[in-house]
Structure 1
Amino acid sequence: MPDLDPADMRLLRALERDARLSFASLGEAAGMSKTPTWKRVQAMEKAGVIAGYRAVIDAAGIGLSTSAFVHVSIAFDRHEAFEQAVQDEPAVLACHATVGDFDYLLQVVTAGVPELDDLLRNRLRRLPGVHRFTTTLAMRDVKPRAYLTDAAG
């Protein structure tokens, strides 16, 4: 991991909040001129600190109003196959390997409860090695997103 100085963190903080800032505006937010800003951003992209850029889409705005978390237990010898298969399931927004009572925690999103039922019964349970799963339906988002730069201090 590269050593990030306070100026790098200011750039990251500004980019994380609005990745569409021009280099001039970004530099202004970080207290530097356009060219050094561009060079630092390029260096952080090359180092993998900046992994990409994307738009933040409102799920309900595109018809995805049901969010759930699924704890999944996998057969001991099927982890690799499960991890490969879960990559191809578009309703799975995130998959985390965990330690504890379950092997994975999935964040899923669907248009509604009937679609969630279909996802669970007809797709997720058929993924390689799935032994059992438990689903928790999210009622509402209290803190749907946070900034990594805030957590980094």
Structure 2
Amino acid sequence: MTKAPPRLDPADRRILAALERDARLSFADLGEAAGLSKTPSWKRVQAMEKAGVITGYRAMIDPAAIGLGTSAFVHVSIAFDRHEDFEGAVRDEAAILACHAVVGDFDYLLQVMTGGVPELDDFLRNRLRRLPGVRHFNTTLAMRDVKPRACLTEAVR
């Protein structure tokens, strides 16, 4: 049975939206964004961390600035009895930023980033095809990012 998500009131949602835009805000600034004082905003953030609503904090990094200029999406088909092995191997592969189990012609959709096309080719030929259970895959190269990452709080309005 799936655990029900915690109930979030409008102030909680304003805090989450502010943190998504800038996770370095002070609790006083968070409180101001939510219409609260510093202490109540701090307590709400603590409660949302404890409930698993807030799962961490991280910096947004420009991929090109650290040498990751090529982005691709790879649909992968897996042998029926190898899904668990494949998922475990995917978690250890640094070039795979995201892996989604999907319904359709393929079993998984991967988001992959590499330094360039030669590195992507090496990844596909020498690493991905050797992961457990890989039967075949289809790669789509991203030409440019139009909307690389939206704020989740904007999707629930």
| Aligned equivalent of 2:93, options 48, 68, 89 | 89
Q: CA deviation at 1:111?
A: 0.3
The answer to whether residue 33 in structure 2 is matched with residue 32 in structure 1 is no
When the two chains are superposed, the root-mean-square deviation of aligned CA atoms in Å is 0.4
2:63 — aligned with what?
Answer: 59
Q: CA deviation at 1:70?
A: 0.2
Give the total of aligned pairs.
153
1:43 — aligned with what?
Answer: 47
What are structure 1's unaligned runs of at least 5 residues? none
Q: Distance in 2 between matches of 1:55 and 1:147?
A: 14
1:150 — aligned with what?
Answer: 154
| Aligned equivalent of 2:104, options 95, 100, 106 | 100
The answer to whether residue 9 in structure 2 is matched with residue 5 in structure 1 is yes
Identity %: 81
* Amino acid across the alignment from 1:4: L
Q: Distance in 2 between matches of 1:125 and 1:86?
A: 12
The answer to whether residue 91 in structure 2 is matched with residue 110 in structure 1 is no
Q: CA deviation at 1:146?
A: 0.3
* Amino acid across the alignment from 1:111: G
Give the TM-score taking structure 1 as reference length.
Answer: 0.99
* Amino acid across the alignment from 2:132: P
* Amino acid across the alignment from 1:73: S
The answer to whether residue 72 in structure 2 is matched with residue 72 in structure 1 is no
Q: CA deviation at 1:54?
A: 0.2
Q: Distance in 2 between matches of 1:29 and 1:37?
A: 9
Q: Secondary structure at the match of 2:99?
A: strand
What are structure 2's unaligned runs of at least 5 residues? none
Q: Distance in 1 between matches of 2:136 and 2:88?
A: 18
Q: Distance in 2 between matches of 1:3 and 1:20?
A: 24
